[in-house]
Structure 1
Amino acid sequence: MPKPLIVVTGKNGQLGWELLQLSGRFAGAFDFLFAGREDMDMSEPETIPVFFENIKPDYVINCAAYTAVDKAETDQETAYTVNATAAGMIAKECHRYGCVYLGISTDYVFDGKGTAPYTTGTACDPVNYYGYTKYMGEQLALEHCEQSVIIRTSWVYSSHGHNFVKTMLRLMKERPEIKVVHDQIGSPTYAADLAEVLMQVIESMQHGHAHYGIYHYSNAGAISWYDFALAIKAAAGMQCEVLPIPTAAYPTPAKRPAYSVLDTTAIQADYGIVLKDWKQQLHTCLSHNTINLLN
C-alpha cells in the first residue's frame, strides 16, 4: 500500500525548511514533496490546478506566503493574490482530490486591542493589510475545503530565512546599542515546533482523529519584543546594549498589534499538543543553529 503523500508549499521559507529537516523522521510513514515557485507560483494561481493534475497528494501544508508586512500596505494586489486567492485555490484543489488542506495564518487577523489571549472564536478585525489578506485566505480555504485546518501562529523564527531572532543577532553584532519596542506583547514561536505540531496533526488524522477548523499555536509565554531581544542577547552572550522604546518612537507603514497573545486551548484539547516554553525553545534554536543564525 502506498504511503500517504504530503505536499509542502513554500519550501524555501522558515516553516517549509523546518518541515524538510523534520521529514526524514517520518519517511517510514509518509512520502513528501517539497514544492517551490518553480512547481506552482502563488502569484500566478492559475498554475495551481496544473500542479494538482500531476500530483495527487493526501495532505497539503501551505507554507507559501507573502510575509513582507510593511510592503503589503502598498503592494496590495500581490499580497492578496498570494495569501488569499492562491490559498483558496489550493484548498479548492484539495477538495477536488479529496485531500486535507493545512494552512498557516497569523495573530495579525486581530485588532491588537485585547487584554486576554485571543480565542479561535474571537471576532477578527485585521490590524493591517497583511492581516486582512491572511484572514481572507482562511475564509476562502474554509469555504472551498471542509477538510481544512488553519493554524494561526505568532512571532515565528528559525535559523533559516528572515526573522526577529536573526535580525537581532546581526544588529547586536554590528552595533553597540539597539532600540526595541517594549509595548507590543505576544508569544514567540520556534518554527521547528510548529513543524512538529503540523506533523502531529497529520498523524492524528491518519489514526482517525480528525478535527477541522481554526486553531491557535505558539510557544508558551507572553512577552514584549524588548523582552525577546534581552533574552536573545543573554542566550547568545552578546554585549550590545538593548534599550526599550514605545511603538510611537518606531513608526512603520503597517500598524502592529499592541497585544496579540493567542489562546491555544483548542489545539491542546483536540490534538494533544503540549506547549513548549518560549525561552527554552529560543535556547534550543540557538544551541542547534549558531552558525546558520549568524550568517
Structure 2
Amino acid sequence: MTILAFGRTGQVATELSYLPNVMCFGRDDADLTDPVACAKLVETHRPRAVINAAAYTNVDRAEVEEDIAHLVNAEAPKAIAQACADIDIPFVHISTDYVFDGSGHDPWPPDARPFPLNTYGRTKLSGENAISEVGGRYVILRTSWVFSPNGENFVKSMLRLGATRDELRIVADQVGGPTPARDIALACHTIAKELMVSPGKAGVYHLSGTPDCSRADFAREIFTIAQMPCDVEAILTCEFPTPADRPKNSRLDCGSLEQRFGISRPNWHSYLQAQLTEC
C-alpha cells in the first residue's frame, strides 16, 4: 500500500514521512501553485490514497497575497481531489479552525456554518467547498493550533522569545486545542486506510488536542515545562492587533471522528512535555 502525500517539510508532512508506505512530495516535485501538475502527479503514480498536508499558512501575509493563497489552498486541492475521484482513491485534506468566525463559547461541530474572518480562512474554505463539489472518497480534517519540533509554530516562538525576555504579553481571549502534528499525521494515515474499505465514511471531521486552553495559558505551560523564568501577562486580542483577524473561539467538536474512525483527541500536555524534554 502506497500513500502519496503533498508536503515534505511542513509540520504534518514531516511526521507523515516517518510513517510506513508514505511517499512525500515537496515543492520541487509538486508545486501547489501549479494545480495541473499536482493532478498529473496523482495520475502518474496512481497511489492507493492521497493526503494533502501542504498549504499556504502565513495568515497575515495572505492578506496581501490572496491570489497565491487561493491558488494553493483552493485551486490545487480541487485539482488533486478531481484526480483522486477520477481513479477512485481516497483523498484526505487538512483544513483549519480558521474557517469559523470564533463567536460563542461552544465547540464547533463539523456541520456548523463556516464564516471565516480572514483571507487565509476564506481560501481554505474555498478549498473545502471545491473538494466537496468534486465528491468521491474524501475526508476534510479540520484541526487547530498545530505544533511540533519542526517548522514554525507557537511553541517554538514562545521558546525563542522566552529565552531573551522576562515577560511576554499573550492574548487570553483566544481559546482552542493545541494539536500535535504527529497525531494529525497518524489520523490522516488511519483515515486514508479506512476510506479504502469504507467510502461511506467520507465527509468533514474535526481533530484538536485536549484540553482546550487560552493562548496565554498555553504559553505559561510551555515556560513551566521548559523551566524558563518568563512571566505571561494576559491581554485581549484588541490589545495585540495583527493584519489578519483571528477567531477567539477555536474549540472543535471532535466526537464524530472518534465515533466513526476511533480516533480520540490527543493530550497536548503529554506531547509537549515529551517534546521539550527531548530538546
- Interval of TM-score (by shorter of Structure 1 and Structure 2): over 0.9
1:264-279 equivalences in 2 (<5 Å): 264-279=254-269
- Displacement, 1:206? 4.7
Q: For residue 187 of structure 2, what is the amino acid of its counterpart?
A: V
CA distance in 1, matches of 2:7, 2:141: 16
Equivalent residue, structure 2, for 1:190: 180
Residue 210 of structure 1 and its aligned partner are, at CA, apart by 5.2
Distance 1:7 1:251, change over 3 A: same
Deviation by residue 1:238-277 (Cα, 9 ceiling, x = unmatched): 1122211111111001000111100001001000112222
In structure 1, list runs of 5 or more residues that go unmatched.
291-295
Q: Which moved more, 1:268-277 or 1:246-255?
A: 268-277
Q: Determine if the alignment matches structure 1 residue 13 to structure 2 residue 6.
A: no
Alignment of 1:132-211 (within 5 A): 132-206=122-196, 208=198, 211=201
1:215 equivalent to 2:205? Answer yes
Deviates more, 1:98-107 or 1:40-49: 40-49
CA contact (8 A) 1:60 1:101 kept: yes
- Does structure 2 retain, via aligned residues, the 8 Å contact 1:101–1:145? no
Note the alpha carbon deviations across 1:116-165, whole angstroms, 9 max, x for none: 00001111101211001111111111211321100000000110000000
1:215-249: CA deviation from partner (whole Å, max 9, x where unpaired): 00011211110000000000111112221111111
AA matched with 2:252: L
Q: Cα deviations across residues 69-127 of structure 1 (Å, max 9, x unaligned)?
A: 01111110000000000010110111112211100000010111121000011111012
TM-score by length of 2: 0.96
* RMSD (Å) for aligned C-alpha atoms: 1.4
Report deviation, 1:207: 5.3
Gaps of 5+ in 2: none
CA contact (8 A) 2:88 2:136 kept: no
Residues 190 and 285 in structure 1, CA contact (< 8 A), matched pair in contact too: no
Correspondence for 1:43: 33
Matched residue, 2:108:
118
Contact 2:81 2:134 in 1 (8 A): yes
Q: Give the deviation of 1:178 after TM superposition.
A: 1.3
Match of 1:236 among 215, 221, 226: 226
Tell me, in whole angstroms, the C-alpha distance in 2 between the residues paired with 1:238 and 1:70.
28
